[in-house]
Amino acid sequence: MTTGRRADVRATERPRPARQTSPEPAARRAASAAPPTAPERAGAEPGAPSDPDPLGGYLQARAAALLRTLHDHREAAAHAESAADAAEAVRRLRRSSRRIGATLHTFRPLFDPAWAEQLRTELSWLSGTLAREYAYGDRLDRLLAALHRLAHDGGAMTPVPPPATTRRGTAGEGRDRRDEALPAGVARAGALLDRRLTLARTRAHSAALQALGSSRFHALADTLAVLASEPPETRTPEPGEAPSLGAHAERARLRLLDAVDGLPLARSEHPFHAEALARALSAEMQGDSAWLHVRLLLRLHRYAQEVVGPDAQDPAHGTAPGTAYDAALAAAGRELDRHHDAAEAAAAAAAAARTPRIAPATAYALGVLHADQRHEVEAARFAFGRHWTAAEDGRLPDGRSGPAGAVVSRSGGARGRSAARGRATGR
């Protein structure tokens, strides 16, 4: 009887779930248990208490987003038909990496210096390695599209001026020969660019595969998993240091203003003055480095504003997301991205033109292509100047008026910035 009752009890018990034999990866566990991202936190109920540690919460959210992006990239890269999804995952990965690296740079006095610098270096290595393959592909598409457009336009971007003293008919015949040389060299120029950039893209793809399987990548994934699960330790500012997050963000803004003051915005008011064409092919001689530096500082400033949040920003400045200043800076950042892409494409065309033993028609087509991309650089500088002026005046990029009180006042000048530096350093 006792044995039969025990058998009945066992029969009526609910089966227990099977125990998992393979633990979930640390990166996936951290991504699933990570705090909500910035848009999710923005949708909280009105009147809810603000995050007591906005810096730690921001880094946690960005690290969790980066881990999820790594998972998406691994899933998309496994199938050839999902190449577009893999490219989008790399773009999202770079956005998260830039924000984490910029936050560690802007607020570095609040972190352990060795830890912050090492994480910044590793994030830069990973995002650069994964993005290089897609950058070569985008550059090739840009150059081939420009070649196709220039071939149909007959090289109208770079007209050849007639000589001062020539025999009758010589100038017209020379122009006709040049107009015929461009379409004749377009096919060979496109093939040369395709061969060079495809080879570079293949090597970058191999480097990305090696990076994803390296111990360096797995160590970085573990670091991100820890960062996504718990905020980093921050130290108390020492006497004489900036006392708040807003002060560090203000320093980033002042560095941006100083860098923009050094740009030749007055010369860039005419978008097609072709000043770059009269100089050497070196990027330093053409002044691209100063613009690329402003592009970096603009990102640091915008990401710092994301960290401090609208509550920590000065209402008189109008720097909260959605204001005219923020919209104008976003448009200015897009123009600097356009400037960067055009400058890189022009450098690729110039490097291809230096290939030994190429046909004169091919070299001519590459020269026209280089000039076209340098015109794009100048146009991007002109557009950036317009958007930056709109940010100074507190206007939206389309010309509509925004809230009064722009971040940069033309009448304030260096005196206003000196006062702001005093407030940022606590003096």
Tell me the pLDDT tens digit for each residue of 64-109.
999 999 998 888 877 777 888 888 999 999 999 999 999 999 999 8
pLDDT band at 413 (very low <50, low <70, confident <90, very high): very low
Q: What's the rounded mean pLDDT across residues 197-207? A: 96
Q: What's the rounded mean pLDDT across residues 254-275? A: 76
- Selection from 291, 288, 298 nearest residue 333 by Cα: 298
The Cα–Cα gap between 268 and 397 comes to 18
Check residue 24 and give its pLDDT.
40
Is the per-residue pLDDT at 319 higher than 70?
no
| 21-38 per-position pLDDT tens digit | 333 454 454 444 444 444
User: Does residue 58 contact residue 64 with C-beta atoms inside 8 Å?
Assistant: no
For residue 96, give every residue at least 6 positions away whose Cβ sits within 8 Å of its Cβ, in sequence order, or none. Answer: 62, 63, 65, 66, 69
User: Does residue 166 contact residue 381 with C-beta atoms inside 8 Å?
Assistant: no
Check residue 232 and give its pLDDT.
82
User: Does residue 256 contact residue 294 with C-beta atoms inside 8 Å?
Assistant: yes
The Cα–Cα gap between 389 and 397 comes to 9
Check residue 12 and give its pLDDT.
45
Q: What's the rounded mean pLDDT across residues 373-398? A: 83
191's tokens: 């093939």
| 347-358 per-position pLDDT tens digit | 999 999 999 999
| pTM (predicted TM-score) | 0.74
- Selection from 40, 34, 41, 39 nearest residue 60 by Cα: 34
Check residue 310 and give its pLDDT.
58
pLDDT band at 283 (very low <50, low <70, confident <90, very high): very low
Check residue 183 and give its pLDDT.
75
Of 71 and 4, the structure prediction assigns the larger pLDDT to: 71
φ, ψ at 401 (rounded to 5°) = -75, 145
Check residue 322 and give its pLDDT.
55
Check residue 264 and give its pLDDT.
86
pLDDT band at 303 (very low <50, low <70, confident <90, very high): very high
Check residue 364 and give its pLDDT.
93
Check residue 184 and give its pLDDT.
78
Structural Rg of the chain based on CA atoms: 28
Percent of the chain with pLDDT over 90: 48
379's tokens: 């146009």
| 156-168 per-position pLDDT tens digit | 444 333 334 334 4
The Cα–Cα gap between 364 and 156 comes to 13
Beta bridge partners of 401: 395
The average confidence (pLDDT) of the chain is 75
Q: What's the rounded mean pLDDT across residues 278-297? A: 73
Of 248 and 18, the structure prediction assigns the larger pLDDT to: 248
Mean pLDDT lowest for which of 131-140, 218-227, 265-274, 416-425? 416-425
Check residue 83 and give its pLDDT.
82
Check residue 126 and give its pLDDT.
94
